[in-house]
Structures are given as structure tokens and as C-alpha cells.
Chains A and B, each alone.
Chain A
């Protein structure tokens, strides 16, 4: 009787292990190694990695950056067209500063993400394929530079998915991706 409520008999460490349990241990161990190796390798070979440079920045500094970015940007309708491949976006209750913005498909942009006040969530998807979505945390005090290249033209919607107050659900922005000329 080997009960989990009783003190195990002497020599329990040296008892044999059932053959099938040993096989399972092997399978589980190998699987753990595979998923580790894949995740690590994907940072080198993969196209989708949440990796970018982060700088500390105060809300005021970031507001100034946003100001000079907007001055350099041109406008199309009510949307900004960035002067080069840097795109600045700032979250604040309850809006995305820097949107709407018009970008070109196939161009690699450096997205600069930060917040003026509290934490927000940058959740983005094209309106023609909702299942294609990704999500990033936006922190006040930090500027995250995340390169992105959109393959397909279309309107991409940004929703805040980190609770930031009662108006949280209204926090919505758009990114229009157009064909490159």
C-alpha cells in the first residue's frame, strides 16, 4: 500500500519506475526542450517578435516629441502622414494621439509607443480580418520603439485593451494602410 497520507517505506527513492511512466517522462522532457528551442530560435528566424528598443521618457518629453513629429508630418484629410518611417503614437485617457495615420504597405515603420498618463493596451487588427490581431502593453514613462511592416492595405483599428478608466471602451484609433506608390 503506497498511500500519499503515510510516511513512505524505506528505500522509496530506489523503487523502480513503471516503464510507461518512464516513456512519458521522456516524451514530456523532449517536448519541453522543443518548445524552449523553438521560442528561442524564432527570435532569430521569425517575423513576429515583440522585440524593440525601450527608452525612459517623461510624459512631457514625449509630448514634445509628438509635437515636433506632428509639425513635420503632412496631412491627408484628418489623418497624419509621417515625414519618414518613424510613427509616433501616444495613449492617453481616452484617445490615441497620433491617429488617424496613413501608412504605406510594405514599408518598415518604427512605431514609437508611450503613454501620457496611465497604462494602456495597444490592440490592433484590420477590419477585413478580425482574427489577425496583436496586442502590446503601453506604459507611461517608457518609449517603446517597435518596427512593423504591414503586408496588406486596409483600415486597421486600434482599441485600448488595458483598463484605463470609465471611458476606456471608447478609446479607439485607426491606421490606414495604403498601397505603396
Chain B
């Protein structure tokens, strides 16, 4: 297949098809690079589509604007969710697997035909899903992500989902084959940490996708009347294997990207292979159990099941995240101190390359994911506290804290990095590109906090077009939440603007950006201070800045926890 469109796939490779990256030092094969570019570009297209619907959805929930009719709202919301939470993320994740496997290991991408088939199936699935949602008409309803049976969606939608899931599994096969061949050739070698992270991600992904396949095949059969009865409780349990499972893929992929980007642009090192890898192993065993927090306020699941899943086992994964929360900034701190960029407690952080959007996007991703997404995930995952969060707008705040700021920022940084090092283009509108992560992180951070507030303080439901100023058929309203919705609306516009700037910068750089002509053009991507010379082991460097940041994190975590429990115990009594 000739992939050379608009000169985007034309790097200089040697006769074997390899080149050496001047930034990472990786030996990159043409096959792997081209597919990373292809999946990455497709992801950006999905981001653009989903972003358009972010605007219509946010402007409807901000009832002062009240853009859409209720009948259109859920369709737009569904398109927003599928394009951002699934297509933008999963296309990026396949690209990450190809970076974490073939590129890091210096191998070609095997069975490219299979990668191609997976890609085509994913794209077709995505198109079918988009079109079927867009054309939804009664008695069918738009599915959002959850498509909760027995509410029914167009049959084509379920078929599209199956096509997409199968495509994603197929697209992951070349990655697995790469690792299998590596093991056969070098049975006694450990994988590099990034490859190891990608491997863990891929296993979590396959678990989630296979669960999803079972769910949606059965649901499709029900929808075309081959199965008569659809049990709502069965559907919920099964659905959430993929519904939250996909978010666990995002998490594991994002953490892998954190290790990768803090290293290549910030000079971070791995302070303890043992600790970081153990944390990934904990993810492998426990993280999918986190999905159970969606069933905390459900009937039909036993208490023991709920406590085991969210508490006993899921905190294995929460613990793992807290491990990475230390290990990644500490790697940056130690790495920069080693290069003579220490300076006091926080000098390693303040003198870091903040003007480089790859770096700033990564750091904001780490901070905002931890403080906004991570803490709230654990708090709302407590069976009792969940009653105050379940299906309110606060839940929406939680997952925007994880994916809209956390994962999306990390992936934006990665896209910029791919533009620079793989497409070999300098970023257009340099200053705007530098500021973009600050702008997006700031605005989206506030949007997220407002979502949580209106959910917790006023019990504003999610999945509703309008309800704050007007619930038809009653005098009752949630008008008190209006001021917070005004802040939400303004900052949502700003965040969407920042997202637009990202797409404009990325696309303009590819189409009209200056070509990178030599290593000096990408010199700013290489961590300053050069390679460290002393042989003091990395764990012997000071990590007091990171330690302090982590203590602040722990204090906020405990504070949020206590406040949420306090709010809960103020309620009337419920349950046995």
C-alpha cells in the first residue's frame, strides 16, 4: 500500500527501512512509523468531530444559551462521547502500542496487512456508529456510550460497535506478535519499561474488548429479535467490562506515555524499575475491577460483591496509581538533578522546558489527572459515597477529570511529539502552540470542577438537556445551580477554543509547517544538560520536591474523602 499522501509519509530510511530518531535515539522502521502516523492522524480527526459536539452539548446544558432541543441533545451527546471517549482515545492507543512495541524494541511492524485490516474495520465501525447515531429516530433512542438495554438503539449502531471492537483487537495483533518474536529471540531480556507498560495496557485492552464483544453481540441479537429477553442487570454488569474497561486502557496508556514523554523531553529517569513495574502488575490484576463502581447504587448485585470489587481489590489499583504518582515526578526530579538542573526544592521543575508544549501538556496531564480525576474516582467508588454521585453531573466531572484533562492532554503532548519527530515538521504558530496546554488545562480544569460542584451541591442530573431552570410539569427547579452553570458555560467555550487551537496547530504544522532538516531543528526536544556523566545510581538523588508535592496530594485526597463522607452522613438514613 502506498501511504505517501501530501508528503506526510516520506522520511529517509536506510536500505533496510530503518532510521535513527535524533531525539529518542530509537531505531525506527518505516512500517511502524507509518502506522503510528496513520492511527494518530485518524485520532485527531475524531477529536475534531467530538469537539464540535462538545460545543453544542455544553451550550445546551448551559440553559441560558439552550442551544439544542431535548430530542437533539442526546444524539449530540452520544456523538460527543463516542468520538472523544472512544475513537480519539482508542486510535491513539493503537498508535501507542506500535510505539511501545516495534519502535522501542527497534523492530519492524509485522503483518502490516493485519494492521491495515484492523484499521479499516475500526474506521468503518466508527463511521457506522456516527451515522447510525446521527440518524436515530423513534422508537429508537441515541445510545450515549452506555446504550442501556432494554432502551433500544438502531441495530446498525450495535453492528458498528462490534465492527469497531473487532477492528481494535485485530489492530493489536501485530503488537503481540512483535513481543512474541522479541521473547523468542531474546528469552532472557527484560522489556524496556515503556514496552512493558504498553504490554500491560494491551492485556487490559483485550480483556475489556472481549467483554464488550460478548455484551454487544448479545445485545445486537436481542435488537434484531433473535433473543427475546434482555436482562437489565446482566447488561449493566457486562456492559461495564468495556464501559469502564476502555477507560482503564486510557489510564494505563496514559501512564506509559507519562514515562515516555517525561523521559524524552524532560530528562526523567526510572528511579526504580522494580517499583514501577510492580505498579503496572497491580493494574493488570486489579484495575478492571474499578469498573464495579458503576454498580454501587444498583439493586441486583450483592453487598459482598460490591465491597470486594471496589474496595478490597480496586484499591490495589488505586495504590498502583499512587506509586506512579511518586515515581514519575521523582524520575523527572532525579534526572534533572543528575544533569545539574536541580536547584533547591523545586528548581528541577521551575527550570524545566515549559515553553515546549510536549512537556507542559504532559505535566498538566499528570497533575490534573491526579488531583481531579484520580481522587474523585476513588471517593465516588466508595459504595456509600457513591449514592451522592451516582448519575449526577459530578460523575461527568469525574470522568472529564480523568479523560478530558488527564488522558487528552497526555495524548495532545504525544501528537505534538509525533508531529515533530515522525512527521518531522516544526510546529506552526510556535507561540500559540506553546501556550495551548496552559490554556486548555486551565479552562478545562475549571469546567471539571464546576461539573462536580453542580452535581454534589445541587444533585443536578447528568444526561439531561435542561432541568436547572425548568422541569416541565412542576414548579420545582434547580435554579440555585445557575451561577455555577454560568461559570461552566464560559469556561467550556474557552476549553473548546483551546482544543480548536490544538487541532489547528497540529494540522497546520503537517500541511504548511517547516520541515525538520536536521537534528538541530529538534534540539529543544532533547533534555538539556546532555547525558549525565557521574555514575551515582539514580535512587541516590534527592527527591524532596516530589515528596512534598505528594504530601500535598495526600492531604487533598484525605480532605476530599472526609468532606464527601461528611456530606453523606448528613443525609437521612437509608439501607439495612
Q: Which A residues form the contact surface with B (CB < 8 A)?
A: 1-8, 12-13, 15-18, 20-21, 23-25, 27-29, 31-33, 35-36, 39-40, 42-43, 46-52, 54, 113, 117-119, 121, 123, 125, 127, 130-144, 146-152, 157, 159-166, 168-170, 172, 174
Nearest CB in chain A to that of B535: its residue? A1
Q: A50-B575, A163-B151, A170-B472 are in contact. Are A24 and B547 (CB under 8 A)?
A: yes
Q: Known interface pairs A32-B318, A119-B232, A130-B458. Does A54 touch B299 (Cβ–Cβ under 8 Å)?
A: yes
Flag if B390 contacts A135 (CB, 8 Å).
yes
Contact call B569/A12, Cβ cutoff below 8 A: no
Taking the nearest CB of chain B, how far is it from the CB of A37, in angstroms?
9
Cα separation A36 to B299 with both chains bound (whole Å): 21
| Residue ID in chain A nearest B462 by CB atoms | A161
Known contacts A51-B575, A162-B148; A2/B462 CB under 8 A: no
Cross-chain contact of A39 among B260, B319, B382, B474 (Cβ < 8 A): B382
Across the interface, do B273 and A12 meet the contact criterion of CB distance under 8 Å? Answer: yes
Please give, as numbers and ranges, the residues of chain A lying within 8 Å of B319 by CB-CB distance: 28-29, 32
Q: List 22 A-B contacts (CB under 8 A).
A: A1-B531, A2-B538, A4-B192, A8-B193, A16-B540, A20-B543, A28-B554, A31-B558, A39-B307, A40-B311, A43-B307, A50-B383, A118-B151, A118-B232, A121-B461, A132-B570, A135-B297, A137-B236, A137-B391, A143-B299, A144-B299, A165-B141
CA distance A3 to B8 in the complex (A): 29
Q: Which of B528-576 contact A (CB under 8 A)?
A: 531-532, 537-541, 543-544, 546-547, 550, 554, 557-558, 561, 567-576
A-B contact count (CB 8 A): 308
Whole-angstrom CA separation of A5 from B331 in the bound complex: 14
In the complex, the 10 A-B pairs of residues with the closest C-beta atoms, listed nearest first = A133-B459, A161-B461, A144-B299, A49-B575, A4-B193, A28-B322, A47-B573, A163-B463, A161-B391, A32-B315
Residues of B within 8 A of A (CB): 24-26, 70-71, 74, 104, 138, 141, 144, 148, 150-151, 189-194, 197, 231-233, 236, 259-260, 263-264, 268-275, 295-300, 303, 307, 310-312, 315-316, 318-319, 322-323, 326-327, 330, 334, 378, 382-384, 386-392, 456-459, 461-467, 471-474, 476, 478, 480-481, 531-532, 537-541, 543-544, 546-547, 550, 554, 557-558, 561, 567-576
The distance in angstroms between the C-alpha atoms of A163 and B150, with both chains bound, is: 12
Using known A-B contacts A4-B192, A54-B299, A142-B233, determine if residue A148 contacts B574 with beta carbons closer than 8 Å: yes
Is the beta-carbon distance between A5 and B104 smaller than 8 angstroms?
yes
In the complex, residue of chain A having the shortest beta-carbon distance to the beta carbon of B78: A163
Separation of A14 and B44 alpha carbons in the complex (Å): 42
**Bound Cα distance from A40 to B312, whole angstroms:** 9
Inter-subunit contact A159/B471 (CB<8 Å): yes
CB distance from B374 to the nearest CB of A (A): 12
Contacts of A31 in B (CB 8 A): 322, 554, 557-558
> Are B192 and A50 in contact (CB-based, < 8 A)?
no
Q: Which of B315, B334, B572 lies in contact with A151, CB distance below 8 A?
A: B572
The chain B residue with its CB closest to the CB of A16 is B539
Check A139 against B233 for contact (C-beta < 8 Å).
Answer: yes
* CA distance in complex: A31, B316 (Å): 11
Asked if A7 and B189 make an inter-chain contact with CB atoms under 8 angstroms apart, the answer reads: yes
Instruction: Please determine whether A17 and B272 come into contact, CB atoms closer than 8 angstroms.
Output: yes
Are A39 and B383 within 8 A (Cβ)?
A: yes
Distance of A137 Cα from B236 Cα, bound (Å): 11
* Other-chain contact of B327, A1, A6, A21, A42 (Cβ < 8 Å): A21
Residue of B nearest to A95 (CB): B473
- How far does the Cβ of A176 sit from chain B's closest Cβ, in whole Å? 12
- Are B459 and A131 in contact, with the CB atoms below 8 A? yes
The answer to whether B104 and A161 touch across the interface, beta carbons within 8 angstroms, is no
Docked Cα-Cα span, A13 to B567, in Å, equals 45
B459 and A142 within 8 A (CB): no
Write out the residue numbers on chain A whose beta carbons fall within 8 Å of the beta carbon of B531: 1
CB < 8 Å neighbour of B478 from A28, A130, A132, A151: A130
B194 close to A4 (CB less than 8 A): yes
Q: Tell me which residues across on chain B come within 8 A of A3, comparing CB atoms.
A: 192, 263, 269-270
- Which residues of chain B are near A137, meaning CB under 8 Å? 236, 295, 297-299, 390-391
A146→B326 CA distance, assembly (Å): 42
Most A-side CB within 10 Å, residue of B260, B456, B547: B547
Beta-carbon nearest neighbor of B570 in chain A = A132
**CA–CA, A111 and B528, complex, Å:** 65
A12 touches B387 (CB 8 A): no
